[in-house]
Structure 1
Amino acid sequence: MTVQQQHLPRPLSTGTDYQALAERFRPIFARIAAGALEREQSRSLPFEQVKWLKEAGFGAVRVPTPYGGAGASLPQLFELLIELAEADSNLPQALRGHFAFVEDRLNAQADAPQDTWFKRFVEGELVGNAWTEIGSVKIGQVGTRVSRLGEHWVVNGTKYYSTGSIFADWIDLYAQRDDNGADVIAAVRVQQPGITQSDDWDGFGQRTTGSGTSVFENVVVEPENLLDFATRFKYQTAFYQLVLLAVQTGAGRAAVRDITEEVRTRTRIFSTGNASHVSQDVQVQQVVGKASAQVYAARATTLRAATALQIAYESRFAHDEVAEREANIAAELESAQAQVVIADLVLRATSDLFNALSASATSTGKALDRHWRNARTAASHNPIIYKERIIGDWEINNTEPPYVWQIGAGSK
């Protein structure tokens, strides 16, 4: 490689024809939607549905086109995730860790080629997530350790909320090295001895995301897959948050879709109503219209925040530290602002839509409540009250928002 070639900009994922991209996946989304209610009622994990997406190249939509990916921009990725969430809101969250790891490798491309990882993504390999620990571990501590065992580096520890890992080929695992105490990401292959995965997430919503406990006992990690956490892409928290916003928006769209169909086909009316058919009742139309507008605003807000993330991604390659810092601040703030308003919009829509029907809408056979439960569960991640404070601190004091935060036991 010549000096001149070394300084050429690497291929970026700046966007493609969205309609053509979406048409590749919409038939799969329709198949996924057809079984979503049954999976909810039986709590069946979507192994087959994830396989459909893998085989169609869904996990590689952000990979640059010269490497065989679709070269989608971040707004296009999140629009796809909203469409997938409308089909089944569990699936975008199950793939959240994968797309975050892809994004990290896209950013790492600014410093070193990522051909190996891009090839894996294009071949359909997925990456799960295992970061969170529960129990007595305190803020700033990590119980999961990477150490030497003979000729190998190995990982030992237990993680909870390991969303999507049960479907994955790799796990993006947060740990600390025993030799120097450094925080690292250990990318470990799932198909090896020492990994035990459990689907023991007991939340009332998002019940088929494949979240649960993962136990690692002397799990081998190759040296090249020990990644310094300090090099992780800066807008990662904003990215993770936007996946949750896509989940909520898709759940809202699904609620509008399902309750609209209930209204359209309902024959029973109330004597206190306004028409001889529910679909012609102006007050019912108003309920559905308002919810539709709320979900429209949620989608528009998500995609606007995704544009800020795209700017942060592209700034990584521009060799302008000031502009990159400003872009990352904007990405974090816009994702937080979007979080605050979208949770309110979608939770109101998925609840108030029941005003368009009657008590029959609460039938467990219809499970219309799942849209609110799923949105409520997704909105409970990353507490909104703290994000509101962070935004206010920026507005008043120009305090830079945190890019990484932790959870753990407090002092006694």
Structure 2
Amino acid sequence: MRHRESAWGSGPSEGYERLASRFRPTFRRIREGAVQRELDRKLLHEEIGWLKAAGFGAVRIPREEGGAGAALPELFHLLIELAEADSNLPQALRIHFGFVERILGLPDSPLRRRWLQRLADGDIVGNALTEIGEAKVGSYSTRLTAEEERLRLRGVKFYSTGTIYSDWIVVGATADDDSLVTAIVPASAEGVIIADDWTGFGQTLTGSGTTTFVGTPVDGDEVLARDTYAKYATAFAQMVHLATLAGIARAAARDVAEQVAERRRTYSHASASRAAEDPQVLQVVGRVRSQAYAAGAIVLKAAEAVQRACDAQSSGDPDLQDTANVEAEIETAQAQTIVARLTLDASASVFDALGASATVRTKGMDRYWRNARTIASHNPLIYKERIVGDYAVNGTRPPFAWQTGLATE
């Protein structure tokens, strides 16, 4: 094994290497085309297909139900490896894996069994939750109404990450009784319009654009109440972003080491005739790699807290559940405030080691900072730092719902 591929620390379990070996050939295949896809803005339909064929979307499904039975720290470590190959993919699958957690937490029922089978068969779930425009915080303008003895969806969503690649879409909506519900519809259903109009400067291939529902029919058996979310759902969702950031840092560390090793040009005022022997350049490479290592280690530590919250959900002890959920929320917030900054600094510092030639677009080195900045803009750091501080000083419980919209006043 080459040095730059080792010394990242052991996996989160004794069986992790065996689990990861199943997916690493696919990850390598994805990595090979990452730069060209970015330059061409080629969507990830083919790569999602490779992951589906490998059973990646079912990695959390129990073995007896047709999945890989991975624990949460194993899932997040796999997402770090996938993000190292292409950071668009973990984000595109974020809602899918969150939905898997929701289904796993349901009591035995026809719906749970139906969805476990679909997920084990490789179906991918996308999202249509966030709204822009006049939607208020904590509400949906999208409506699920009964029309002529049929439920139908009408509304417009944005930030529909991953939906363009999905088989099913989970849609946040307001029902006729004004309750908030989740409707699940096939991506190919009547009245579903998915637009690839995401214009952000980073994570450009996640498909985070507009989804419109024009009288889309909904099966009454495919509607979930709001209280069916996993209690640790927000911590889980943040962990996917953190794993993505750690993977970006690792990819930047890998690329800067490879390019310094191959670099032949030097400066008149450099400290050595070759970059690979220049102590100042090596210091930059070492710092970037150390930042990537620290980011990954922090993510895996926070993953343990989310696993404890997951385990507590089935304990039947409300106090244990509450404590575990609060701790998971705080630990992921603490991790976010540091992992984001480690990755942003690492992805910017690579240019100090490589010089102006690294800014050539065809090398794709800029995508690491752009992607990290985009991911780090989710669930703003300034609020998370305040929440952590308020918890540490005053014991204030963290909020468990993150939504955007107009203030309700």
TM-score range with shorter-chain normalisation?
over 0.9
Counterpart among 175, 181, 187 of residue 184 in structure 2: 187
Q: Secondary structure at the match of 2:361?
A: coil
Q: In the TM superposition, what are the counterparts of 1:253-402 in structure 2 within 5 Å? A: 253-402=250-399
Shift of residue 393, structure 1, vs aligned partner: 1.2
Q: Contact 2:156–2:211 at 8 Å: present in 1 too?
A: yes
Secondary structure of the residue aligned to 1:154 is: strand
Q: Secondary structure at the match of 1:108?
A: coil
Report which stretch shifted further, 134-143 or 84-93.
Answer: 134-143
Letter paired with 1:327: A
Other-structure match for 1:3 = none
In the other structure, the counterpart of 2:157 is 159
Distance 1:47 1:144 in 2: 27
Instruction: Please report how far the alpha carbon of residue 411 of structure 1 lies from its aligned counterpart in structure 2 after TM superposition.
Output: 6.5
Residues 15, 57 of structure 1: CA spacing in aligned structure 2 closer, same or farther, 3 A cutoff? Answer: farther
Note the 1:138-149 alignment, pairs <5 A: 138-149=136-147
TM-score, normalisation: structure 2? 0.95
Instruction: Report the AA paired with residue 364 of structure 1.
Output: R
Offset at 1:237?
1.1
Counterpart for residue 104 of structure 2: 106
| 331 and 55 in structure 1: CA distance in 2 versus 1, 3 angstrom threshold | same
Aligned-residue offset at 1:265: 0.7
Matched to 1:116, the amino acid is R
- Normalising to structure 1: TM-score of the pair? 0.94
Matches of 1:309 and 1:30, distance apart in 2: 28
Q: 1:400 aligns to what SS in structure 2?
A: coil
Q: Secondary structure at the match of 2:64?
A: helix
SS of alignment partner, residue 161 of structure 2: coil
Alignment match, 1:6? none
Residue type of the partner of 1:248? L
Aligned to 1:78: 76
- 1:2-35, Cα deviation, whole Å (9 max, x unpaired): xxxxxxxxxxxx9782111111111110110011
Q: CA deviation at 1:261?
A: 1.3
In structure 2, C-alpha distance between the alignment counterparts of 1:400 and 1:112, rounded to whole Å: 36
Q: CA deviation at 1:110?
A: 7.1
1:208 pairs with 2:208 = no
Whether the 8 Å CA contact 1:143–1:175 is kept in 2: the answer is yes
Aligned residues: 398
Secondary structure in structure 1 of the residue aligned to 2:199: coil
Determine the structure 1 residue equivalent to 2:115: 117
Contact preservation (8 Å) 2:379, 2:402:
no
Q: Secondary structure at the match of 1:244?
A: helix
Percent identical? 50
Q: Distance in 2 between matches of 1:16 and 1:166?
A: 36
Q: Quote the residue 2:404 is aligned against.
A: 407
Which 4+ stretches in 1 moved above 3 angstroms?
109-113
* CA RMSD, Structure 1 to Structure 2 (Å): 1.5
Per the alignment, residue 68 of structure 1 pairs with 66
Deviates more, 1:107-116 or 1:360-369: 107-116
Report if aligned partners of 1:172, 1:188 keep a CA contact under 8 Å in 2. yes
Deviations 1:315-335 (A, max 9, x none): 111111110110000111111
- Do structure 1's residue 217 and structure 2's residue 235 form an aligned pair? no
The letter for the 2-side match of 1:184 is: V
**Corresponding residue to 2:92 among 91, 94, 98:** 94
Contact kept in structure 1, 2:134 and 2:406, CA below 8 Å: yes
Residue identity in the other structure for 1:75: P
Contact persistence 2:139–2:180 (CA under 8 A)? no
Q: How far did residue 138 of structure 1 move?
A: 2.0
Q: Secondary structure at the match of 1:155?
A: strand
1:134-190: CA deviation from partner (whole Å, max 9, x where unpaired): 012222331001111222211110000000001001111111102x11111111111
Q: Distance in 2 between matches of 1:84 and 1:346?
A: 16
Tell me the residue number matched to 2:129: 131
Residue 166 of structure 2 is matched in structure 1 by 168
Alignment partner, residue 20 of structure 1: 18
Worse overlay, 134-143 or 312-321 = 134-143
Tell me the distance in 2 between the aligned counterparts of 1:305 and 1:167.
29
Work out whether residues 110 and 317 of structure 1, in 8 Å CA contact, stay in contact via their aligned partners in 2.
no
- 1:237 paired with 2:231, answer no
Contact 1:83–1:250 (8 Å) recurs in 2 = yes
Relative distance call for 1:224 and 1:411 in structure 2 (3 A) is: closer
